Structure 1
């Protein structure tokens, strides 16, 4: 195996070096080139210039010596991208987007194999930061909100620890909105589609007055569920209803000073993707019966046709005595569905989760001299999420007569953040520089409950919905599925006033604070006449975080954590302009993901930061008189102290204390998760991009990403010290995308254009759980749009009519799959196997990609 690994690394390095040496056209990976042609569709010349701000200054993408992909307004429109989740089809091969668990209310975003598993908590972060107009968003909740008037999305690949700071070890996703123009202009769009979808947006620019320009944006997006819920009054799955508004002002009181202010507010109501059972008892264990021979139906499993008990929890002594394992039968009301379902077998309560995001930003730029600009970015932002996730139903829990089922995962999170950044950006002689200081603080609180919302009848042919009205003392058995009731007593009330009127069994409640201070700088030296550019940069960071887990399983606790680190992240870059159109570079950089604590550990298990070192070489080239670009980059990344999550669904009825006394297990039936710094991870990759504009109006583009990774094996704290292989999630070995764009001027149609777009996106199978060797399906998604654009109605108005389709061929694939319910659960006390539980064996469950959606739009601009 060691020789195989060395061969793979040698092959990777050799392929990259060969490409760089054999093809002078080589260039850095960037899907951005797919957008330049669209912006330049009617141009008789070549591919247009793309401007980015990845180095905190405006630069030409082809001359920026880092790996970037860019999606312009036109690219987002052609792909009908309404939220970041629409990028999950693989539009940018190195960028991976998926739901956290099944829910749409939080997204998992990764770049180059740095993909978080469970950062959806008060004291945890991801390894890829998302920015809006230069402001980092502290939490992944709310990331799937409707996009406002986006000018471009920049995907910065590889560690960005110098200029962007912590939690950018994989890269950064930076969204830039359109600024006020100071001239009157309006754009309005309305559309309808299948699954009851409808959308509308309006963008209004007002003429400047007293050097103040104003701009207003409004957006509305709706889609009915794609999987229906048989329960009357419930919403169904893969539903969303998004609305929001944004106001922006640009003040230019005198030459050199630009002051931008903006406020945005958005509300996103959504339901999770549906989790369905795709097989039953795949390991072919004996299927038991709840009725013993000659007896009546009960709750104990028996070997079919006998009175011999089997299955369930089998202790070591029972196993030695010959007790046989068997699994629960499949409830008659539940079916096995290897293909995407349209209607669930069993109805469960499912109401929309509600995400509210809001924020105010002040961005000041003052050009004090021709070679120096001072900047200030001040921002207050917040997000609140009321999560209602009942995606599993009976597909993730086994059947038992008269038993509760269907875990309703409820979470109520609030987060507020403040950030302040100062920058000095300038040039003198042969030097360019960026200097800055940054401060960030946030406060997050969350509490969660996981009641069971349904109740089987005696034979599994029917079910009832549990009453939301709780009387008496709140317990895990009677908590119902609604948050409040008129008559109940929660034992937390005496010490935690927050839950005085709560009729929920609170599984956890936590709060956390974070403070980050940093200073950074970048200096580029370009000796005149050499074509060389030497860049050195660094960032010093002080990161302090603390918090408390004050409720566990409806009991007051006092678990706290506190950690503080100081570190320095350097960056070195050597770039060479071989010709006017050929640019080569080599880069070394580091980055880190902050440490924190896991509130699902039931003790606020703390862990330290992870860090990455990256070595990258790349090149960029325009050739054939700017009618073609071929870009390539190769990188090696070594990640230290990798944060991995270990989890367990605890089925042990009792635990043994150190003195040998057996007591009831306080976490029986709970999901427990611990995070550890589990070891080192190796990630290697090649990214390539080709864009060709053979004739006026026609642009062909293709992008490819190869990612090799090797994760460590680590000791699982729940399996008595046994090592376990770990996996990186949502990282395919091979991913590719391609697009065809054609613009045909229609002289007979008063200056209109016929615009055709078709893109195809592929990813090989990948892991979706850190502890499971089960892989998802390969994916292949085609999107398309045809538009009659820019029809002149009069001297000031133009109309565009379009038809669009996402997943045009209705391809079905599994993007998230688990076999956790297909094998026994082993319960340990230290290194001793106490019991083996077969009662939870059901089968693999999965989430499928969204089905084909299509629609029509009409837009007008003045």
Structure 2
């Protein structure tokens, strides 16, 4: 097998082959972790027990509570700046209501579908989140976020082939203490938090967390009374109870409710006919080729932009060129979790994690306006030909129940974990894409007067037909429901052969079952056996083993080599008229690395190299199909034959050259290659096969992050006061947005900073005040994080295999990152 590293990266990997990247931290440590005598220990729970991160044989990055404050991280979407280079976070389409989360090149384009799974598992206090919807809700009182890299199929289960994102909340302390904070910023932003711990009473400790986050739109909507874009208003409350009836028993119960009202990022028209498509022989327009298709002739002509439309590909727009109807999407999440631990004996602890969760989403996305199909032609007439502005509406309802039983303990020189797992999920969804605007008096391309934009009736599509955006009036593009069940048994043991040599082995057996139905397609109920439609009735079984050999060269130098496997369940695409099914994908991972503390523990360097081979990769073929004056986003998921190669290196360095100064840097190199996929197309009775290149989305070849933290004592203010300074910079190379298009987004470099005066003694017992200023995207850098070339390329041939139409071509459209935001904040601890 040929490994496709550049020369410099190969040299680094050669070093790693002799050593190990045990576990990695990349963000500046919290104050308790940076002692005067060097870098302190960090505790993680990736092995289902508390261990020192530096001696845990898993590649992990940890973002602690202090780092979250320094970066002003309010939700998971804030990690889109690249704070952890190996972790990639982006919105699905332009929407904040669903996130795409990837690690090590395992990044699904559209896990937005009810019958499709994520490739990275997201866990909150040990509970797996079945959907990526609602993940952008406000974070509560977070102790740390652990980013576990590589397959975690043994202890964390299915759908963790890329890794796991584990969010750990602060537990009730049993003491009367708390924190109240608030702040204001530009774009009308304001936030407030309340965290209150009550004294332990008869073994019960209580904790209450309340969060409010608000930001006005960063792109204004000219249509009066309508919401702009990149707006959010998040509210959440969480209550936790810890019961310790006797020594050895701890029972944690929590309940949380959140509501996230948000609007998508604005979708701008970035260019016009960038591929120079012209009618005539296809050879005259060599770049005007839709991947996976073949044709000789191009017909028609690219559509001119509507009057008043602005083409802007260099900077984000602060005011939309054409106002359109836009109301906020609303995500509602809620859940109950019970985490029971019983220390039966020194050698055994029994645990039970029981959870019931749900999410309800009402999506309203009109961010494309006149920048995406349907495209109106000059001289349009009739009831629908002048309509435009596709309003993407979707509703999703998800409920999940999970139960996990664990036995954790030690027998002599062996540490063990064993468990049983059950997961039951019900999801239903529907979607509609009506036009919301029309133009009148449009006779000539480029005209500057005589035309008028009108808002369509929200119920009646053309004055008589009920096919608008208002609930009860929609023509449903698709509707589906699915029930997924998963059963698993797993075990893992670490045998400490000597004080320095450790062997870990484990495995997990999983049985997954899916039962799904397509209820509506293009507003028509499909019939089994007709036009290829079949309900989903599938089951899969997998055994995922893991073996790790770790060696402590010294107290400060550790090496390991790891073999692990993972798998992602199959499913069906509700975005196809036949509910086209696809199979699971499987990955094998080989990882080695080095972890060192040096310079009298004032320096820390971690290095990991990995090789991952994925079979039956789930890739997506996206196309826009036109239905009347609206359009349908058809997305087919297939399994790519052959082996997808993913290769990478991850390095992290932390230095404390002098007391109170901490320097951190991290780097991730990720190489990915999917073998050419044969795509067969039938057009007008003519069939042909094309070898097509697919790509892994949102995965930069090179990504890096660095930070500087300095704490200056301020005894003139109060005894414990410090002036804390933080700045971080995050770089990512350009990436693809879609599996099938080579077109890339922009490279990015984002800088964040914070200056705070901490622990000001308020003269009332333990009360301490912290006040600070923060800024995200300090230099107001603008880059396109999502670029869609689908309406800058010809459509697929539909009536014959020799010609393709240019009639719906305008140009690429895409989304810019958030602009510079800044504010002031204060926090009072008591």
**TM > 0.5 fold call:** yes
Which residue number in structure 2 is paired with residue 587 of structure 1?
562
> Could you say what secondary structure the match of 2:15 adopts?
helix
Which of residues 360, 379, 388 is equivalent to 2:364? 388
**Alignment deviations for residues 305-333 of structure 1 (CA, whole Å, 9 cap, x no partner):** xxxxxx9xxxx9x998xx95322222222
Which residue number in structure 2 is paired with residue 363 of structure 1?
339
Q: CA deviation at 1:723?
A: 2.2
Between Structure 1 and Structure 2, how many residues are aligned?
A: 789
Mapped contact 1:37–1:693 kept (Cα < 8 A): no
Work out whether 1:15 is the aligned partner of 2:12.
Answer: yes
> Could you say what secondary structure the match of 1:259 adopts?
strand
Alpha-carbon spacing, 1:471–1:110, altered in 2? closer, same or farther (3 Å):
closer
Cα distance between partner residues in 2 of 1:525 and 1:326 = 69
Moved more, 455-464 or 118-127: 455-464
Cα distance between partner residues in 1 of 2:497 and 2:766 = 50
Cα distance between partner residues in 1 of 2:775 and 2:400 = 38
Alpha-carbon spacing, 1:324–1:128, altered in 2? closer, same or farther (3 Å):
closer
Mapped contact 1:51–1:61 kept (Cα < 8 A): yes
Cα distance between partner residues in 1 of 2:746 and 2:22 = 29
> Could you say what secondary structure the match of 1:706 adopts?
strand
Cα distance between partner residues in 2 of 1:112 and 1:395 = 33
Which residue number in structure 2 is paired with residue 426 of structure 1?
409
Mapped contact 1:236–1:271 kept (Cα < 8 A): yes
Which residue number in structure 1 is paired with residue 488 of structure 2?
518
Which of residues 640, 650, 660 is equivalent to 1:687? 650
Alpha-carbon spacing, 1:132–1:319, altered in 2? closer, same or farther (3 Å):
closer
Which of residues 36, 42, 50 is equivalent to 2:29? 36
Alpha-carbon spacing, 1:369–1:319, altered in 2? closer, same or farther (3 Å):
closer
Alpha-carbon spacing, 1:468–1:828, altered in 2? closer, same or farther (3 Å):
closer
Which of residues 709, 721, 724 is equivalent to 1:741? 709
Which residue number in structure 1 is paired with residue 454 of structure 2?
464
Work out whether 1:437 is the aligned partner of 2:420.
Answer: yes
Cα distance between partner residues in 2 of 1:361 and 1:105 = 23
Q: CA deviation at 1:652?
A: 9.2
> Could you say what secondary structure the match of 2:69 adopts?
helix
Q: CA deviation at 1:6?
A: 4.8
Which residue number in structure 2 is paired with residue 221 of structure 1?
213
Cα distance between partner residues in 2 of 1:729 and 1:46 = 39
Cα distance between partner residues in 2 of 1:595 and 1:471 = 37
Cα distance between partner residues in 2 of 1:700 and 1:35 = 7
Mapped contact 1:767–1:774 kept (Cα < 8 A): yes
Cα distance between partner residues in 1 of 2:767 and 2:5 = 58
Alpha-carbon spacing, 1:393–1:377, altered in 2? closer, same or farther (3 Å):
same
Work out whether 1:399 is the aligned partner of 2:376.
Answer: yes
Cα distance between partner residues in 1 of 2:279 and 2:216 = 39
Which residue number in structure 2 is paired with residue 271 of structure 1?
263
Work out whether 1:787 is the aligned partner of 2:784.
Answer: no
Pairs within 5 Å for 1:75-94: 75-94=67-86
Q: CA deviation at 1:473?
A: 10
Mapped contact 2:279–2:299 kept (Cα < 8 A): no
Mapped contact 1:287–1:329 kept (Cα < 8 A): no
Mapped contact 1:797–1:860 kept (Cα < 8 A): yes
Q: CA deviation at 1:27?
A: 3.9
Mapped contact 1:572–1:587 kept (Cα < 8 A): yes
Work out whether 1:99 is the aligned partner of 2:94.
Answer: no
Cα distance between partner residues in 2 of 1:779 and 1:59 = 35
Pairs within 5 Å for 1:266-665: 266-285=258-277, 325-338=300-313, 339-397=315-373, 398-400=375-377, 401-402=380-381, 403-459=386-442, 461-470=451-460, 478-483=466-471, 502-529=472-499, 531-558=500-527, 559-651=534-626
Cα distance between partner residues in 2 of 1:226 and 1:668 = 28
Cα distance between partner residues in 2 of 1:433 and 1:175 = 23
Mapped contact 1:651–1:827 kept (Cα < 8 A): no
Pairs within 5 Å for 1:633-782: 633-651=608-626, 669-679=631-641, 680-718=643-681, 720-751=688-719, 752-782=721-751
Mapped contact 1:192–1:856 kept (Cα < 8 A): yes
Q: CA deviation at 1:30?
A: 2.0
**Alignment deviations for residues 431-470 of structure 1 (CA, whole Å, 9 cap, x no partner):** 0000000000000000111100000113274310001243
Cα distance between partner residues in 1 of 2:394 and 2:137 = 18
Cα distance between partner residues in 1 of 2:152 and 2:699 = 20
Q: CA deviation at 1:430?
A: 0.7
Cα distance between partner residues in 2 of 1:19 and 1:469 = 62
Which residue number in structure 2 is paired with residue 132 of structure 1?
124
> Could you say what secondary structure the match of 2:535 adopts?
strand
Alpha-carbon spacing, 1:668–1:778, altered in 2? closer, same or farther (3 Å):
closer
Which residue number in structure 2 is paired with residue 663 of structure 1?
none
Mapped contact 2:277–2:806 kept (Cα < 8 A): no
Q: CA deviation at 1:12?
A: 4.9
Alpha-carbon spacing, 1:38–1:775, altered in 2? closer, same or farther (3 Å):
farther
Pairs within 5 Å for 1:170-249: 170-249=162-241
Work out whether 1:853 is the aligned partner of 2:821.
Answer: yes
Q: CA deviation at 1:18?
A: 2.4
Alpha-carbon spacing, 1:721–1:828, altered in 2? closer, same or farther (3 Å):
farther
Cα distance between partner residues in 2 of 1:555 and 1:44 = 69
Cα distance between partner residues in 2 of 1:89 and 1:348 = 29
Q: CA deviation at 1:819?
A: 1.6
Work out whether 1:817 is the aligned partner of 2:780.
Answer: no
Cα distance between partner residues in 2 of 1:27 and 1:178 = 28
Mapped contact 2:335–2:356 kept (Cα < 8 A): yes
Q: CA deviation at 1:36?
A: 2.5
Q: CA deviation at 1:649?
A: 1.9
Which residue number in structure 2 is paired with residue 487 of structure 1?
none
Alpha-carbon spacing, 1:539–1:319, altered in 2? closer, same or farther (3 Å):
closer
Mapped contact 1:415–1:444 kept (Cα < 8 A): yes
TM-score relative to the length of structure 2: 0.92
Cα distance between partner residues in 1 of 2:97 and 2:539 = 30
Alpha-carbon spacing, 1:7–1:205, altered in 2? closer, same or farther (3 Å):
closer
Alpha-carbon spacing, 1:9–1:807, altered in 2? closer, same or farther (3 Å):
closer
Which of residues 86, 91, 113 is equivalent to 2:105? 113
Cα distance between partner residues in 2 of 1:474 and 1:369 = 74
Q: CA deviation at 1:544?
A: 0.4
Cα distance between partner residues in 2 of 1:614 and 1:472 = 56
Mapped contact 2:220–2:320 kept (Cα < 8 A): yes
Q: CA deviation at 1:20?
A: 5.5
TM-align CA RMSD: 2.2
> Could you say what secondary structure the match of 1:253 adopts?
coil
Q: CA deviation at 1:802?
A: 0.4
> Could you say what secondary structure the match of 1:18 adopts?
helix
Cα distance between partner residues in 2 of 1:156 and 1:474 = 55
TM-score relative to the length of structure 1: 0.89
> Could you say what secondary structure the match of 2:689 adopts?
coil
Cα distance between partner residues in 2 of 1:787 and 1:416 = 42
Q: CA deviation at 1:810?
A: 0.5
Q: Give ranges in structure 2 of 5+ residues lacking alignment.
A: 281-287, 528-533, 683-687
Mapped contact 2:21–2:609 kept (Cα < 8 A): no
